[in-house]
A and B are shown apart, each in its own frame.
Chain A
Amino acid sequence: MSEQLLIKGGRLVDPASGTDAVLDVAIREGKIAALGAHPDGFVPDRVIDAQGLVVAPGFVDLAARFREPGFEHKATIQSESLAASAAGITTVCIPPDGVPITDTPAVAQLIQEIGHEIGKVRLCPIGALTRGLKGKDLSEMRSLKDAGCRSVSNAYSPVQSSLILRRSMEYAASHDLLVVFRPEDEDLADGGCAHEGIVATRMGLRGIPYAAETVAVAKVLALIEQTGARVHFSLISSARAMRSIARAQEKGFQVTADTAAHYLHLTESDIEGFDAQCHVSPPFRTLEDRDAMRQGVVDGVISAICSDHQPHEADAKLDAFPSTEPGISALETLLPLSLQLVNEGAMDLMTALRALTVSPARVMGLDAGTLSIGAPADVAIFDPLASWALGPDTWRSQGRNTPYWGQTLQGRIRYTLLGGQCVFERREN
């Protein structure tokens, strides 16, 4: 039961403490017992040889859809838990837009219980901000909190009424719940499917302007000032919205932001040829936006890089571009794409790993994302140099909808530990 485990000879990178050194990690009773020198009387049951590997806290993913309950034809908690643990992800926040919607304690508990039974990854359901995500009545946030939700969100359904928005933020604040917004003004987005810019104009695709994001951000920022709510913006896609958030942070507002790893790589040009695998919401914007957001991660304005994992069945992408479902299956590209930022010189390894570990954990108020002594032993051990081709033999998610399919990426998980238990071990290579 309480296996004693030693991770030996790896390069320990723990952004929470700023540690970057070759240090052994001793694990006892599911927690980090010691770093470097072994504690007295520590006799490991198992030694993991981590020479040449990076030992980091398990990744904390602020947005991934496992599609269960409700969309099991796309994926299940079982299938995606296996994919997540193979990707070094140990904590996953699940948006509330399954069927049924996470607006009752029962659904929140169900998700956690199934996750717990599978035992590969910790699942943190995000509760609905409004009942049925309809933007009309407040959800039972206090009950959701008691059932394990640390945050509430209306996910892809924007709250159109400014009054309901204000009240829901006030009510969340009174229960100290974080409110997660995916900022998009539905009117201004106008059913678009691509960034309103030169590519969409040439391809005749209905565009989503910057203003769809900036107007939504501005409205929420004004209401933070009014209500004192703690807010996290999920999936920022533009430099403009990011700068608004940076100004609010400078003013001392309790506001944070994330983006998904693929937004730090892909741009509007990637939809050329009507590539439905690059149909995402919000849309990929310009190279300038992408580069500004990379810098935003370095500066800490964007504190977390999430996967925004959205697995789909093949049919969801087999249609004319505007009629396909947006989203990318992205758990398994989270680490490689983050490491690619390091390889391209956009940031150092410590910064990239911070955005995958301690920063998202702090956003969500989780006891995770660090390898400090006494912390839960959630650990990702990876080979930063190992290359692998994305294909049917290597892919684990039920959703194969990724623009990177068939490509070779660098950075591969070798072991994943959850509470001191080895939940993933790569035997090949």
Chain B
Amino acid sequence: MSLTDNLQVDAKGRLRHFLTVEGLPREQLVSIMDTADSFASVSEQAVKKVPILRGKTVVNLFFETSTRTRTTFELAAKRLSADVLNLNIATSATTKGESLLDTIRNIEAMQVDMFVVRHADSGAPHFIARHVAPHISVINAGDGRHAHPTQAMLDVYTIRKHKGRFEGLVVAIVGDILHSRVARSEIQALRILGAGEIRVVGPRTLLPPDAESLGVKVFVDLEQGLKDVDVVIMLRLQRERMNGAFIPSEHEYFAKFGLTEERLKVAKPDAIIMHPGPINRGIEIESKVADGPRSVILQQVTAGISIRMAVMSMVMSHETGGQRDV
């Protein structure tokens, strides 16, 4: 259908880049999770390394700051024995006026093999994937409001670990859906994997227009949105959005949309609580819940390493495609 679909898989349907989960077949997502399973044990060994990417150079190309995502990508690459270069472009080249394409060309000239890209513009990793040399793979580590596919994969991986299935599951995603690339990718991944019902919950100012078109049920009331759910995914509310323009105050937000033990009573008794982090205690989630027995927030972080190892190893085994498209 779109350029996206052809761009990230090779002629044999294998992952060449990982830009979005949209358009990927269910088997592909299952395969990523199965591969992650096989890597999970690596992190538990005394020597936490396998030689899969030995001699390869991975560049973490972060045009937007990040701690967690960059760190887990770095760890994942290192456990696969790759050499890792961290570039924080937000404070270097582009502020001097270098174009995105020039930045890419320059780093490409250093004979690297993979770009892990985070960028404030939706579509930036697609643009880069379309212009890099054929042997280079691009992994999207979050672009604008568009996609954060490895986060979505580690989330569904965590869900699979706890629930063992997707069919019939009711999943609620709560908070700032409008600005969230995590939510978009999660919704797509959950739909591809056949989740029973996906809900988004938040005030209208933080929901995308036409949210229903994403294939979700929309709730503006948290109690109703949490009723009988199996999984609750809380999203981080960015500080700059807390006071004024989107919600009147942190206080009112917590009062209406903060996740508390009390509110969770309407969810299924075995419901799990997830959060992509970093969490705002007392704003979107109370500590009792974040640290409670149903919280799998820290397991998500651990899963992030296995998932990223899986994706990195898979994209590096693709067949290099056609000519560079300029």
Chain A residues in contact with chain B, CB under 8 A?
196-198, 201-207, 209, 272-276, 315, 318-323
Contact = CB atoms under 8 A, between A and B. Distances in A.
Contacts, number: 84
Nearest to A275: B3
B213 A320 contact: no
B210 interface: yes
A349 to B, nearest CB: 34
Given A203-B122, A204-B122, 8 more contacts: A273-B2, A315-B99, A318-B131, A319-B99, A321-B127, A322-B122, A322-B144, A323-B121
B8 to A, nearest CB: 11
Nearest to B209: A196
A419 to B, nearest CB: 43
A196 B119 CA distance: 21
Main secondary structure of the interface of A (DSSP, over half): loop
A89 B184 CA distance: 46
Given A202-B214, A205-B146, A274-B127, A319 B122 contact: no
A209 B123 contact: no
The residue among B22, B122, B146 with the most chain A CB atoms within 10 A of its own CB is B122
Contacts of A272: 1-4
Interface residues of B, number: 30
A307 B72 CA distance: 50
A209 B209 contact: yes
B126 A204 contact: no
B126 A207 contact: no
Contacts of A320: 100, 119, 121-124, 126-127, 143-144
Contact of A204 (B3, B99, B145, B210): B145
Interface of B: 1-4, 7, 22, 99-101, 119, 121-124, 126-127, 131, 143-147, 181, 184, 208-211, 213-214
6 contacts: A272-B3, A276-B127, A320-B122, A320-B144, A321-B121, A322-B123
A181 B112 CA distance: 50
B122 A205 contact: yes
A388 to B, nearest CB: 24
A204 B127 contact: no
Contacts of A204: 122, 143-147, 181, 184
Contact of B209 (A201, A276, A323): A201
Contacts of A201: 208-211, 213-214
B323 to A, nearest CB: 15
A206 B279 CA distance: 25
Nearest to A198: B213
Nearest to A194: B122
A319 B124 CA distance: 7
Contacts of A196: 209
Nearest to A319: B100
Contacts of B145: 204-206
A274 B129 CA distance: 12
A275 B101 CA distance: 16
Nearest to A207: B209
A344 B127 CA distance: 34
The residue among A201, A206, A276 with the most chain B CB atoms within 10 A of its own CB is A201
